[in-house]
Amino acid sequence: ACKYMILTITGDIVTVAHQGSGEIDELYAELPTDDCAFVLYDTGRYVVLFMFAAPEAHTNSRTIYSTTKQTVEKALEGSKVYKHLVEDKEEIMEALKA
């Protein structure tokens, strides 16, 4: 069963870049090292949506993802939205506790 999905923006379309069934370490290893992504993670009780931005992500990419986040939230209505930007593994764990 799929536990998480990593969504990326290609052109003007949000697509599934990766999906997996592992834990947070596996998810973190699949995230981009120099860009942003949206992540859906199934905690077992609810699905959490958050925006990830690698520390090296360009400002332009961060802006594009930030302005697209609300559209993604609406499309995935029913998921629990973590409002803060996530930039590292510790912040991912914090987002999933929310």
Beta strands 36-42 and 13-20: pairing type?
Answer: unpaired
Residue 20 falls inside a structural domain: yes
**Which CATH number characterizes residue 22's domain?**
3.40.20.10
Residue 23 falls inside a structural domain: yes
For the beta carbon of residue 57, count every other beta carbon within 10 angstroms: 18
* Lookup: tokens for 97: 């506790």
Residue 27 falls inside a structural domain: yes
Q: Alpha-carbon distance 71 to 7, whole Å?
A: 13
44-80 pLDDT, tens digit per residue, is: 999 999 999 999 999 999 999 999 999 999 999 889 9
Number of domains in the chain: 1
What pTM did the predictor assign? 0.92
β-strand partners of 42 = 47
* Lookup: tokens for 26: 């596996």
